[in-house]
Structure 1
Amino acid sequence: MLPAPTVVPATPAPVPELKPGVPAGYLGRNLPNSLVLLPAPPDGDSTGFRQDQAVSRASQKLKGTPRYALAASDADLHFPHVASTFDCALGVPVTQQDTPRLYLLLQRTMVDAGLATYTAKDHYKRIRPFVHYKESTCFPADEAALRSDGSYPSGHTSIGWAWALLLTELAPDHADALLARGRSFGESRLVCNAHWQSDILEGRAVAAGAVARLHSDPTFLSDMQAAKAEIDAQRSAGKMPQGDCAAEAEALKTKIPGVL
């Protein structure tokens, strides 16, 4: 549970950057070790890999649909675009101008949840489905980098699920919508042909580990408190998401056969 709200500065304090425009995470090197946390990915002769293949092939039947278009949007992790991912589920817009502490919280926790996947990624160097099948993804701009980036576990999924968990804590009355959107954000990687289902499932486990560690960091806890105050202020002001929430909801009605 978050502590009682206090008056907080509207402008975030400066944070060191990993590179221009990318603030450092909260955890530094104190990340969950995904290689220790996770089992090995399914090998090529296993029932698990056959399940991965079946889901992969089913997901590719969604090309040309609104769900595929949403997957392409979810693939783009650049800010400010990605900051609006949960606007419809949260019920208010997330912007650097109006919710600067929440915006920075998303930036910093993206780094933590994403980097936490890399001990396993770099160890297993699992080939992604689009490489395995000699196909393309929903977001060609990323394909060159993804070819040399391990598939297991999914970094996108870890980021999206971490955000869903944190936003649920900030807005518990929207918990179902936020968690559903976090799940769909990870499943977009199936539709995008960028990950196997087992990558997605274990990405959520890494996210949970990262979120647990974040709750021992006092700066993170202070920023959570400030972010909650911003969400409450946006609601009080009657601010509404700017995206097409009806279209998003319609796209998310499409389910991928075989997804666990």
Structure 2
Amino acid sequence: MGKEECKTMLDALNRVTACYRHLVITLGSTSDSQNLREELRKTRKKAQELAAANRTKLTALLKDKSISKEDRSEYERLWVLFTSSMELLDVDMKRSLEIGQDFPLQVPTRHLIQTGMSGSTTTVAARAMSVQNMKYEADSNIDTADLKELEAEIAQVVQMMEEMEMKVQVAPWAVEAKQEAGAELKSTVSVGNSSVGVISICEEEPKEMDSEAGLKKVFAGIIFTAIILMAGILAFCVIKLS
């Protein structure tokens, strides 16, 4: 039960951090807006809540001396995945701070970049918050007020990661993967969905093209030889008749 609960919580964190990264990419673009800043704020707070819950749960389980060796190995694997997700969240929060400082909404000092992105990001934010419709309640000065909160939250995330390293010492290189290297390449999935199938098709296409080109060359050679023979016969006949 504990393992399944941890996996569910970790999946939720991964989904929210992925949505947060998607939103950060649109900062400073022509899709940037007050709504986007509020979506970023809500999404990262949701990610931090899930991170705190994951840390509490996994820390308690890894400190439990009564769990089996197999369970401990699985919890250590989940811990490594959790720390990786936290590192990505930390990177994206710092990136959001830098871009937010470069592209303020209220007193713009730079024009928004035409990156080709357009449209609303509401769907992504709603997916991260697990709601059907986003509600926007932020004030008009959210971009400046939120940057101060973001700086403080970045410091909290960094502190959380440092405490995690002190409380639970799990060496990433010591954690064994559950699948062999390249296991996904050995999958028996159909050619349409398999990367192996795509590779094999790409490798076979040049061979087919080479064989077709070879046949064309042979056919052209036969025609050219026939023309030469016909020309020779005609020349011989002309000489005889003259």
Judge same fold: TM > 0.5, yes or no: no
Give me the TM-score of the superposition, normalised by structure 1: 0.22
| Greater radius of gyration (CA) | 2
Q: Comparing both structures, which one devotes a greater share of its residues to helix?
A: 2
